[in-house]
């Protein structure tokens, strides 16, 4: 075996080790979405509780937080309290709207879920899954932030808890809300 | 109580493994044979203790002791007895224990088998096997113990994943692990050769049967996995190029390269470094495969349950083993000068080199394809899928190249092939290949892959058959017996060669099955009510009725389909849409009828509340050749392993 | 008697549209198109499965979305582009042939060529113009080889 081959062998093995190490450290939830920076797809669907039609268009000019969830989803229960807390934090801002999207669910189960765990904002039903596909959703929970111009600014796969919560509120939502308030 | 005994045994086994390593090191230092004896005792006791560990887990499963966490997670009071045993390796912890158990039984067997003939190798063998063992036992003892209790005890278990409740799945993991672990024996001998400096052909000859045995197990394991996917997953395919499948395919590819290239070293004393490299890579890939599957590096986005700590541990462990192996090889390689003398480029040596090249490129392709998504994520931050279309496209040419080499390899002489020699052996095969292509064209088959496959199979197949014919004739004439007896005589006179050729025939049969069932598969999906019918190819399927059926731990809607051809009833097929009681997870049970070496494959993925069923019919031509080819390959390998020991040894 | 019954049956079956009893169903052109497109898209929550083979709810909904778009008159290319714009390259069953992805599309063949060339040049060096010997005689080198091996075996 000559030096060149030995060298390639050693470098190859180290590179492989590094790749695996990186792979282990990688967060499987941080999937970059191709949607960031694009116009949020519009949608319309029945409200979970009232059955009235809700659509994205009625919130034009506001910062919209979309939270995809389902009653069968364990991670959604994990984040539920923080989601309510988040709504409490921003609900008084007239430029902020929060919408739940009930995904792949049965209506009675969804209603039951909201009754049990509480809810302070509206939820739209995604009956055929078209909304989820429009938003490139992999599974629940997934959270999107849409700015005043209707552009998707942020996406998170997985529950909004702990550091993720702080990040979302301080780095994403607050600056967006602040931006509209300062000129006026 | 029983489970604690098992736990205790495994902990003691862990200590004994340390003793095994220590005593071997001492034996080498002090050159005192007594220490080797201690090592042997340690290895043997480890086996006994792991046997107790396994037995205690099996016992807990049979007693349905749901106070054991692992049992509660992987079985249920209604789980049938047969699957209760299989549930032992239905999850992560149990499959690691099975790995360790198989490893210890193989190393014990190896130590006792080669004790007399290989005394100098023993301390190395014990040390290497114990080191690998230590890695797995540490993982079991410290990070993923199947013996943990669950408080409070649940009333019932969560049940074994319904997809795993299948006969093929019962045998698939043990076979696969026997393959992986089987390669640890030639690996250990290779390491022994490297460390001791006895770098001759001895280690290869001693481990020849181990190698083909491991290869047989791995092949069987992979085929069983395909068989399982075919019957259980319900989409009519048997190989999905899934990372988990790829993880088992990579060591198979390099292992196959290895078992060919050692022949060259045996006969011609060439490729010494190369063979060491190949066995190290083979065993490394077995370990890496385990890492990839067990660490969750490659699993899909929404498996939240992965455990990075465990992954990190496995990574460090396999890096240590692989690093040590490659380090030893690099250091020792300067002592490994093969004497290479050949008379012509066109010779069997070259064919073997190209065989190795193709197998390694195949393995590299699978490796790259499996890791590419990870690489893209690391360097570009995006996500990408490398799925079956990629592998099918790049693999076909490589596979066809290998099949072609298979046809010429056994008939090209060592050192140099003359023109007359080539003409003598390859004229008929070439004609046969062309005739096959013409026949395929006449019968209306125009797919380029099918035609190329047809040529190669015709060529290689006829080369082997002509060989069999000639040699049978020769022996029949010499011994004055009939042709069949002549064949048997010839076969037993050179069993190693001819059993390998039988394995080659099996490969060809398998490939015909693969080509036919992938390229010429037809499928149809329709919605239908009771009384409706649909036709696929010449077959007509009529839905007679849909009724409820019940098993011990599941309920199902069963469709009864009458299959007719030209108004003649062929069979009734009963696909099911099953829901398992404990997990409420649905599965699609396929119904299959074999006809003309192919399958009519029927599933009923959905039944609406109004009684409209979705039926999916698939015609898989020549699919039985896939399994049949696998069977012939296995037969060839068995004849090879159990050939009488003779002059060659 | 019997013939009269047969006649009656015939009359009944003529009077009624016979598909009320039983139908021969078949795939429509649309079904086939849905299948062809589904086979090229990945079920994003599964382990390398396409949305045709997968039974996951997301896959079912994606098939529904494809069907809907086809009935609206979208072409297969437009549907591909739509999914690509939502999920990125991840949704395709094979890496698209552009940019860095050429690496894995070409690597197998490059490796074969490079390896083949390497073997050729190496073996050319090994071939020694030894004196031509009759083919049927065992090569005399074996004795020498044996000596060399024995020397190697010395620790």
Q: Domain extents for chain C?
A: 33-93
Cα three-residue angle B541-B547-B552, rounded to 5 degrees: 120
Query: Considering Cα of B110, then B113, then B114, then B116, what sign does the dihedral take?
Result: positive
Long-range interactions of A72-79: CB distance < 8 A, separation 24+: A72/A104, A72/A105, A72/A109, A73/A139, A73/A140, A73/A141, A75/A140, A75/A141, A75/A158, A75/A159, A75/B304, A76/A140, A76/A141, A76/A159, A77/A117, A78/A159, A78/A161, A79/A141, A79/A159, A79/A160, A79/A161
Nearest to B326 among A13, A21, A31 (CB): A13
Mean pLDDT of B448-467: 92
C91 contacts B365? CB cut-off 8 A: no
pLDDT higher than 90, residue A72 = no
Mean pLDDT of C113-131: 81
C155 contacts B198? CB cut-off 8 A: yes
Mean pLDDT of B164-174: 86
Instruction: Look at residues B141, B159, B177 and tell me which one is the last residue of a structural domain.
Output: B159
Cα three-residue angle B124-B129-B132, rounded to 5 degrees: 130
In B, minimum Cα distance to C122 occurs at: B345
C86 contacts A35? CB cut-off 8 A: yes
Do B96 and B153 fall into the same domain?
A: yes
Q: At CB < 8 Å, which residues of chain A contact B? A: 1, 6, 9-10, 13, 17, 19-26, 28-29, 31-32, 75, 138-139, 157-158
Q: How far is C150 from chain A (nearest CA, A)?
A: 21
Question: Which pLDDT value is given to residue C131?
Answer: 45
pLDDT higher than 60, residue B304 = no
Judging contacts by C-beta atoms under 8 Å, the chain A residues touching residue B315 are 17, 20-21, 24
| CATH code of the domain made up of C33-93 | 1.10.8.640
pLDDT band at C19 (very low <50, low <70, confident <90, very high): very low
User: Could you write out the three-class secondary structure of B586-597?
Assistant: EEEECEEEEECC
C130 contacts B527? CB cut-off 8 A: no
Residues 6+ apart with CB under 8 A from C146: none
A33 contacts C45? CB cut-off 8 A: no
**Cα→Cα distances B61→B77, B79, B221, Å:** 10, 10, 24
Question: B112-151 pLDDT, tens per residue?
Answer: 999 998 888 899 999 999 999 999 999 999 988 899 888 8
Q: Which contiguous run of DSSP H or E holds residue C81?
A: helix C76-87
In A, minimum Cα distance to C57 occurs at: A104
Q: In what order do the strands lie in the sheet with A63-69?
A: A122-126, A96-103, A63-69, A142-146, A152-157
Distance of CA B457 to the CA centre of its chain: 23
Q: How many other CB atoms are there within 10 angstroms of residue C20's CB atom?
A: 8
DSSP assignment of B62-118: HTT-TTBHHHHHH--TTS-HHHHHHGGGSSHHHHHHHHHHHHHHHHHHHHHHSTTT-
DSSP assigned state of B279: H
Question: Which pLDDT value is given to residue B302?
Answer: 36
Judging contacts by C-beta atoms under 8 Å, the chain B residues touching residue C30 are none
Question: B612-649 pLDDT, tens per residue?
Answer: 899 999 999 999 999 999 999 999 999 999 888 765 44
Do B198 and B87 fall into the same domain?
A: no
C153 contacts B200? CB cut-off 8 A: yes
Does B635 map to a domain?
A: no
Question: Which pLDDT value is given to residue A5?
Answer: 81
Do B41 and B515 form a contact (C-beta atoms < 8 A)? no
Judging contacts by C-beta atoms under 8 Å, the chain A residues touching residue C79 are none
The two three-digit tokens of residue B611, written as one number: 């009684």
Residue whose entry in the numeric block shows the structure tokens 């086996």: B47
Question: Which pLDDT value is given to residue A3?
Answer: 79
- Of B172-186, B488-502, C44-58, the poorest mean pLDDT is in C44-58
Q: Where are the alpha helices (DSSP H) in B443-494?
A: 448-479, 483-493
Q: How far is A133 from chain C (nearest CA, A)?
A: 7
Nearest to C153 among B198, B345, B413 (CB): B198
Question: Which pLDDT value is given to residue B587?
Answer: 86
Residue C120: HSE in the Cβ half-sphere, 13 Å Cα cutoff:
6
- Chain pair B-C, CB pairs under 8 angstroms: 170
C94 contacts B387? CB cut-off 8 A: yes
C61 contacts A104? CB cut-off 8 A: yes
Do B535 and B605 fall into the same domain?
A: yes
The strand pairing partners of C92, in sequence order, are C41
Cα three-residue angle C77-C80-C81, rounded to 5 degrees: 85
Calpha distance C71→C29 (Å, rounded): 11
Query: Beta strands A63-69 and A96-103: pairing type?
Result: parallel
The strand pairing partners of B571, in sequence order, are B563
Buried b (16+ CB within 10 A) or exposed e, B28-65: beeeeeebbebbbebbbbbbebbebbbebbbebbeebb
Calpha distance A101→A143 (Å, rounded): 10
DSSP assignment of B27-57: HHHHT-HHHHHHHHHHHHHHHHHHHHHHHHH
Buried b (16+ CB within 10 A) or exposed e, A33-63: bbbeeeebbebebbbbeeeeebebeebeebb
B382 contacts C88? CB cut-off 8 A: yes
- Parse chain A into domains and list their residue ranges: 1-28, 31-181
Residues 6+ apart with CB under 8 A from B259: B211, B212, B215
Name the most confidently modeled range: B291-305, B610-624, C114-128.
B610-624
Judging contacts by C-beta atoms under 8 Å, the chain B residues touching residue A29 are 301, 304
Question: A144-156 pLDDT, tens per residue?
Answer: 999 989 999 988 8
Q: How far is C85 from chain A (nearest CA, A)?
A: 7
Q: At CB < 8 Å, which residues of chain B contact A? A: 273, 291, 295-299, 301-304, 306, 308, 311-312, 315, 319, 322-323, 326, 329-330, 333-334, 336, 371, 374-375, 377-378, 381-383
Q: How far is C149 from chain B (nearest CA, A)?
A: 7
Question: Which pLDDT value is given to residue C23?
Answer: 81
Question: Which pLDDT value is given to residue B367?
Answer: 93
Query: Considering Cα of B15, then B21, then B24, then B30, what sign does the dihedral take?
Result: negative
Q: How many other CB atoms are there within 10 angstroms of residue B494's CB atom?
A: 15
Q: How many other CB atoms are there within 10 angstroms of residue B158's CB atom?
A: 15
In B, minimum Cα distance to C112 occurs at: B361
Question: Which pLDDT value is given to residue A33?
Answer: 73
Question: Which pLDDT value is given to residue B256?
Answer: 95
Q: What is the CA radius of gyration of chain B?
A: 27
pLDDT band at A60 (very low <50, low <70, confident <90, very high): confident
Which residues span the domain enclosing B306? 166-406
Burial class (CB in 10 A: 0-12, 13-18, 19+), B95: buried
Total structural domains within chain B = 4
Do B300 and B178 fall into the same domain?
A: yes
Question: B391-430 pLDDT, tens per residue?
Answer: 999 998 999 999 999 988 888 888 777 778 788 888 989 9
A22 contacts B378? CB cut-off 8 A: yes
C45 contacts A128? CB cut-off 8 A: no
Q: Which of B244, B238, B239, B279 is nearest to B262 (CA)?
A: B279
Architecture of the structural domain at A31-181: 3-Layer(aba) Sandwich (3.40)
Nearest to B330 among A9, A23, A26 (CB): A9
Whether the link from the prior residue into A141 is cis, omega within 30° of 0, is yes
Q: In a mutagenesis test of the B interface, which of C52, C104, C125, C145 is the best target, namely the one with the most B β-carbons within 10 Å?
A: C104
Query: What phi and psi, each to the nearest 5 degrees, are found at residue C8?
Result: -60, -45
Do B34 and B119 fall into the same domain?
A: yes
Q: What is the CA radius of gyration of chain C?
A: 34
Q: How far is B200 from chain C (nearest CA, A)?
A: 6
Judging contacts by C-beta atoms under 8 Å, the chain A residues touching residue C54 are none
Calpha distance A129→A131 (Å, rounded): 6
The two three-digit tokens of residue B179, written as one number: 């393959």
Q: Which contiguous run of DSSP H or E holds residue B518?
A: helix B495-519
B342 contacts C128? CB cut-off 8 A: yes
In C, minimum Cα distance to A132 occurs at: C58
Calpha distance A60→A95 (Å, rounded): 10
C93 contacts B385? CB cut-off 8 A: yes
Calpha distance B400→B407 (Å, rounded): 11
Do C65 and C41 form a contact (C-beta atoms < 8 A)? no
Do B274 and B385 fall into the same domain?
A: yes
- Chain pair A-B, CB pairs under 8 angstroms: 65
Cα three-residue angle B300-B302-B306, rounded to 5 degrees: 80
A35 contacts C65? CB cut-off 8 A: no
Do B395 and B423 fall into the same domain?
A: no
Question: B228-264 pLDDT, tens per residue?
Answer: 888 888 777 888 888 888 999 999 999 999 999 998 8
Q: How far is B350 from chain C (nearest CA, A)?
A: 7
What is the residue-averaged pLDDT of chain B? 88
Instruction: Look at residues B136, B159, B182 and tell me which one is the last residue of a structural domain.
Output: B159
pLDDT band at B56 (very low <50, low <70, confident <90, very high): very high
Q: Percent of chain B having pLDDT more than 90?
A: 49
Judging contacts by C-beta atoms under 8 Å, the chain B residues touching residue A21 are 312, 315
pLDDT higher than 70, residue B185 = yes
Nearest to C24 among B339, B342, B534 (CB): B534
Q: How far is A183 from chain C (nearest CA, A)?
A: 34
């Amino acid at each position: 075996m000559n030096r060149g081959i030995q060298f390639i062998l050693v470098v190859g093995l180290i590179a492989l080790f590094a790749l695996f190490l990186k792979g282990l450290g990688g967060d499987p939830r941080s999937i970059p979405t191709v949607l960031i920076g694009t116009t949020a797809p519009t949608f319309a669907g029945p409200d979970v509780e009232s059955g009235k039609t809700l659509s994205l268009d009625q919130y034009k000019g506001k910062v919209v937080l979309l939270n995809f969830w389902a009653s069968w989803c364990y991670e959604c229960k994990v984040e539920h309290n923080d989601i309510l807390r988040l709504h409490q934090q921003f609900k008084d801002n007239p430029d902020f709207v929060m919408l739940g999207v009930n995904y792949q669910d049965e209506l009675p189960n969804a209603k039951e879920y909201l009754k049990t765990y509480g809810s302070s904002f509206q939820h739209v039903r995604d009956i055929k899954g078209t909304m989820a596909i429009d938003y490139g959703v992999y599974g629940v929970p997934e959270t999107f932030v849409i700015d005043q111009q209707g552009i998707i600014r942020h996406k998170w796969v997985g529950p909004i808890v702990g550091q993720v919560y702080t990040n979302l509120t301080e780095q994403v939502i607050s600056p967006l809300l602040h931006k509209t308030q300062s000129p006026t | 109580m029983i489970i604690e005994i098992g736990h205790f045994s495994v902990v003691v086994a862990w200590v004994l493994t340390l003793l095994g390593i220590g005593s071997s090191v001492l034996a080498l230092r002090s050159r005192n044979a007594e220490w080797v004896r201690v090592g042997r005792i340690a290895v043997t006791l480890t086996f006994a203790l792991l046997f107790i560990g396994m037995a205690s887990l099996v016992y807990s499963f049979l007693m349905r002791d749901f106070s054991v966490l692992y049992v509660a997670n992987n079985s249920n009071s209604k789980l049938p007895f047969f699957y209760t045993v299989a549930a032992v390796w239905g999850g992560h912890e149990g499959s690691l224990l099975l790995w360790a158990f198989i490893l210890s039984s193989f190393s014990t067997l190896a130590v006792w088998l080669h004790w007399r003939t290989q005394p100098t190798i023993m301390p190395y063998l014990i040390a290497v096997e114990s080191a690998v063992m230590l890695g797995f036992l540490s993982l079991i003892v410290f990070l993923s113990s199947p013996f943990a209790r669950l408080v409070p005890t649940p009333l019932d278990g969560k049940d074994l994943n319904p997809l795993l409740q299948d006969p093929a799945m019962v045998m698939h993991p043990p076979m696969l692990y026997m393959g992986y672990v089987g390669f640890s024996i030639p690996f250990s001998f290779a390491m022994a050769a490297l460390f001791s400096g006895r770098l001759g052909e001895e280690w290869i000859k001693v481990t020849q049967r181990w190698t083909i045995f491991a290869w047989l197990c791995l092949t069987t394991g992979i085929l069983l996995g395909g068989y399982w996917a075919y019957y259980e997953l319900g989409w009519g395919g048997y190989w999905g190029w899934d990372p988990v499948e790829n993880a088992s395919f990579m060591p198979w590819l390099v292992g196959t390269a290895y078992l060919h290239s050692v022949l060259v070293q045996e006969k011609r004393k060439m490729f010494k470094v190369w063979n060491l490299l190949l066995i190290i890579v083979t065993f490394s890939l077995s370990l890496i495969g385990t890492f990839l599957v067990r660490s969750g590096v490659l699993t899909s986005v929404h498996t939240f349950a992965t455990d990075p700590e465990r992954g990190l541990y496995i990574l460090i462990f396999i890096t240590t083993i692989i690093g040590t192996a490659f380090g030893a090889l690099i250091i020792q390689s300067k002592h490994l000068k093969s004497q290479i003398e050949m008379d012509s480029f066109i010779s069997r040596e070259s064919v073997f080199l190209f065989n190795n090249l193709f197998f390694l490129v195949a393995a590299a392709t699978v490796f790259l394809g499996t890791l590419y998504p990870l690489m893209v994520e690391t360097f570009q931050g995006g996500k990408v899928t490398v799925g079956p279309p990629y592998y099918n496209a790049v693999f076909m040419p490589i596979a066809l190249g290998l099949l072609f080499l298979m046809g010429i390899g056994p008939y090209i002489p060592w050192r140099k092939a003359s023109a007359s020699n080539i003409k003598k052996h390859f004229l008929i095969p070439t004609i046969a290949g062309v005739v096959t292509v013409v026949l395929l064209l006449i019968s209306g088959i125009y797919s380029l892959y099918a035609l190329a496959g047809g040529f190669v199979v015709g060529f290689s197949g006829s080369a082997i058959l002509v060989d069999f014919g000639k040699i049978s004739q020769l022996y029949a004439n010499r011994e004055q017996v009939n042709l069949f007896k002549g064949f048997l005589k010839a076969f037993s006179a050179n069993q190693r060669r001819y059993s390998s050729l039988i394995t080659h025939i099996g490969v060809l049969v398998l490939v015909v099955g693969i080509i036919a069932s992938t390229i010429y598969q037809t499928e149809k999906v329709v919605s239908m009510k009771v009384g409706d019918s649909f036709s696929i190819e010449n077959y007509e399927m009529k839905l007679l009725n849909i009724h409820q059926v019940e098993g011990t731990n599941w309920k199902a809607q069963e469709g009864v389909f009458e299959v007719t051809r030209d108004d003649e009833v062929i069979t009734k097929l009963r696909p099911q849409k099953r829901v398992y009681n404990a997990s409420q997870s649905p599965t699609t049970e396929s119904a299959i009828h074999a006809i003309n070496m192919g399958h009519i494959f029927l599933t009923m993925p959905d039944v609406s509340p109004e009684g409209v069923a979705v039926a999916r019919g698939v015609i898989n031509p020549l699919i039985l050749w896939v399994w049949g080819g696998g069977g012939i390959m296995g037969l060839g390998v068995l004849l090879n392993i159990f050939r009488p020991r003779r002059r060659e040894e | 008697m019997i013939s009269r019954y047969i006649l009656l049956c015939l009359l009944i079956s003529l009077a009624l549209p016979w598909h009320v009893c039983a139908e021969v169903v078949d795939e429509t052109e649309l079904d086939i198109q849905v299948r062809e497109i589904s086979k090229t898209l990945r079920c994003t929550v599964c382990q390398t499965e396409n949305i045709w083979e997968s039974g996951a709810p997301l896959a079912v909904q994606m098939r529904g979305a494809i069907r809907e778009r086809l009935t609206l008159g979208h072409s297969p290319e437009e549907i591909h582009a739509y999914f690509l714009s939502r999920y990125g390259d991840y949704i395709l069953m094979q890496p698209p042939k552009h940019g860095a992805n050429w690496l894995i599309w070409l690597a197998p063949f490059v490796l074969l060529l490079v390896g083949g060339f390497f073997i050729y040049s190496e073996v050319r060096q090994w071939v020694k113009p030894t004196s031509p010997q009759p083919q049927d005689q065992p090569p005399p080198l074996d004795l020498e080889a044996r000596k060399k091996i024995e020397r190697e075996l010395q620790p």
